[in-house]
């Protein structure tokens, strides 16, 4: 898939039960696995052992999972559950009726001395044909290959020259937080009847909008 080297091909079917049997998950999440997913394929493994890329400092290998869906939507909690169970970085390809979305999360080591990861924000493309997915295997090592996958999928959301991937993700997270705060404040301003409180709220609104513009 994705024009990846043949040496990376794995093509092993993973029983979806593996991600919810013998694990403590909610009945709702288990139902999502059962009802929304038809089959999961482990399509490729991108690693120094399967490519000519050097090993990265934080990304040892990247797994490519194809998740075939029963309908054109999937609860993000499912991907998060899979990411938590597998101690490697994952590129998800959601498939429905031969259309694809690429998904991946910003994922970093938890720093606890184990294989645990913190799974952060997910980014994804629109639905499109596989050949149209904006994914290119690029970089000198697996760290850069992973970073480029995340940036390719996120597009302009993570654009920013000279930033590390973590800095770009944190900036995007702050932008989303500001957008929510601004929307909530705008509602408060419209509802507020007292002039002095309107002035205070508008001052805070102006400050948040300025910070958003500067991001």
In tens digits, what is the pLDDT along the chain, a chain of 215 residues?
Answer: 889 999 999 999 999 998 888 778 899 999 999 999 999 999 999 999 999 999 999 999 999 999 999 999 999 999 999 998 898 999 999 999 999 999 999 988 776 656 678 899 999 999 999 999 999 999 999 999 999 999 999 998 887 678 899 999 999 999 999 999 999 999 999 999 999 999 999 999 999 999 999 88
Strand partners, 107: 119
Q: In this predicted structure, what is the pLDDT of residue 115? A: 65
Q: In this predicted structure, what is the pLDDT of residue 94? A: 98
Strand partners, 101: 94
Q: pTM surpassing 0.85?
A: yes
Q: Provide long-range contacts, Cβ within 8 A and 24+ apart, for 129-135.
A: 129/98, 129/99, 129/100, 130/1, 130/2, 130/93, 130/98, 130/100, 133/2, 133/93, 133/100, 133/102, 134/102, 135/2, 135/91, 135/102
Q: In this predicted structure, what is the pLDDT of residue 47? A: 96
Q: In this predicted structure, what is the pLDDT of residue 137? A: 94
Q: In this predicted structure, what is the pLDDT of residue 112? A: 60
Q: In this predicted structure, what is the pLDDT of residue 44? A: 97
Q: In this predicted structure, what is the pLDDT of residue 21? A: 83
Cα separation, 163 vs 168, in Å, equals: 6
Cα separation, 194 vs 19, in Å, equals: 54
Q: In this predicted structure, what is the pLDDT of residue 156? A: 87
77 Cβ neighbours under 8 A, 6+ residues apart:
29, 32
């Amino acid at each position: 898939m994705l024009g990846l080297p043949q040496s990376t091909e794995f093509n092993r079917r993973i029983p979806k039960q593996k991600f919810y049997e013998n694990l403590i998950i909610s009945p709702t999440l288990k139902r999502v696995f059962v009802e929304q997913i038809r089959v999961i394929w482990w399509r490729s493994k991108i690693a120094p052992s399967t490519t000519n890329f050097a090993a990265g400092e934080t990304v040892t290998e990247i797994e490519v999972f194809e998740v075939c869906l029963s309908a054109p939507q999937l609860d993000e909690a499912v991907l998060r559950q899979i990411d938590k169970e597998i101690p490697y970085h994952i590129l998800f390809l959601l498939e429905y009726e031969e259309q694809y979305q690429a998904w991946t999360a910003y994922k970093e080591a938890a720093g606890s001395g184990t294989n645990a990861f913190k799974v952060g924000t997910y980014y994804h493309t629109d639905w499109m044909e596989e050949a149209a997915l904006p994914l290119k295997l690029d970089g000198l090592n697996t760290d850069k290959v992973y970073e480029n996958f995340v940036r390719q999928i996120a597009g302009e959301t993570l654009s920013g020259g000279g930033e590390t991937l973590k800095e770009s993700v944190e900036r995007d997270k702050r932008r989303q937080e500001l957008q929510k705060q601004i929307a909530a404040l705008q509602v408060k301003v419209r509802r507020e009847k007292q002039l002095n409180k309107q002035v205070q709220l508008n001052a805070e609104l102006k400050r948040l909008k300025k910070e958003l513009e500067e991001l």
